[in-house]
Amino acid sequence: MKIIATLFLSALIFLAVPARATPEDIITLRDEVFAIGPDSVFVLRTSRDNMGSYYNLQIESHLVRIDLESGDETSWLVYRALRQTVFDEDPALERHETVTQSVGYWHDPFAVIADAGATFHAGSSDAGMRLPQPETGEAEPDRFTIRYDRDVIFAFSQMQARARARSAVDVFGQSLFDAPRMSTASTRELFLEMFAGMMSEWGVCDFATDGLPEGMGDRRIQLVRMQCGDEDVDNSLSLIQLARPTGADSENRR
């Protein structure tokens, strides 16, 4: 009820101040590398949703384990909260307040990676070397290749990267907290609709290396950041993908 009351008060303020129009719904979904294990990579996958308001921000984070062999994902809810603006007749007393949600379902991400024997990945991960789009005339126009030298070559399929991203968005969206908002569409519906176009074969996405190769031997991988949309000004998707040594699996040997 407290959240609904705050949204209602926000609506009244919008009506009282016509010079500042209601903003568009802006939603982002971004991975940050959290830990590296012997057979998996862990990322923190976080959505940020302005709830169609200047005054509120819904944040949800899942810890996601990506299996190095299959690419399959397993996720745990680790954070869910609404940052809302508390208004007052005295503007000096207005403030932000964070309301946590579903705390009983949260998992400790450090406990999860400890059980997996993974090493915490300190610091943020940033996109490195941008990968040029493969030429349409190449023998494998869907395939990205990353070369460090003659003996260190990684590759991945753009089509499979998009398919995995679609699956990741769908799984996240289905479990996303369906927070009330000033819109006829639900929070989950908006989330899935906004990213549907980005995940299509016509959606424009860039790929870049994310750090240096991790692991050893056949389990060595290159993390790749898949960026769709404009992260600075609008809805955007930024997910971690895996590129494997070209001789490490049958898919890359074809």
Average pLDDT over residues 159-169: 92
Residues 154/213, Cβ–Cβ less than 8 Å? yes
**What pLDDT, in 10s, does the model give residues 243-253?**
988 864 434 33
Instruction: Judge whether residue 1 has pLDDT over 60.
Output: no
Nearest Cα neighbor of 242 from 157, 131, 173 is 157
**Which is higher by pLDDT, 123 or 56?**
56
pLDDT in the model for residue 123: 62
Cβ-count burial of 204 within 10 angstroms (0-12 exposed, 13-18 middle, 19+ buried)? Answer: exposed
**Which is higher by pLDDT, 138 or 97?**
97
Average pLDDT over residues 163-185: 90
pLDDT in the model for residue 231: 55
pLDDT over 70 percentage in the chain: 77
pLDDT in the model for residue 9: 46
Q: pTM of the full predicted structure?
A: 0.81
**What pLDDT, in 10s, does the model give residues 59-105?**
999 999 999 988 999 999 999 999 887 777 878 877 878 899 999 99
pLDDT in the model for residue 232: 56
**Which is higher by pLDDT, 63 or 201?**
63
**Which is higher by pLDDT, 51 or 151?**
51
Instruction: Judge whether residue 2 has pLDDT over 60.
Output: no
β-bridge partners, 114: none
pLDDT in the model for residue 122: 73
Average pLDDT over residues 144-165: 85
108-117 long-range contacts, CB within 8 A, separation 24+: 108/78, 109/34, 109/42, 109/44, 109/63, 109/76, 109/78, 112/42, 112/63, 112/65, 112/76, 113/34, 113/35, 113/37, 113/42, 113/63, 116/35, 116/37, 116/40, 116/42, 116/65, 117/37, 117/38
83-87 long-range contacts, CB within 8 A, separation 24+: 83/56, 83/57, 83/58, 83/59, 84/3, 84/6, 84/55, 84/56, 84/57, 85/6, 85/10, 85/55, 85/56, 86/6, 87/9, 87/13
**Which is higher by pLDDT, 14 or 38?**
38
CA distance 108 to 131: 35
Average pLDDT over residues 221-250: 79
Instruction: Judge whether residue 198 has pLDDT over 60.
Output: yes
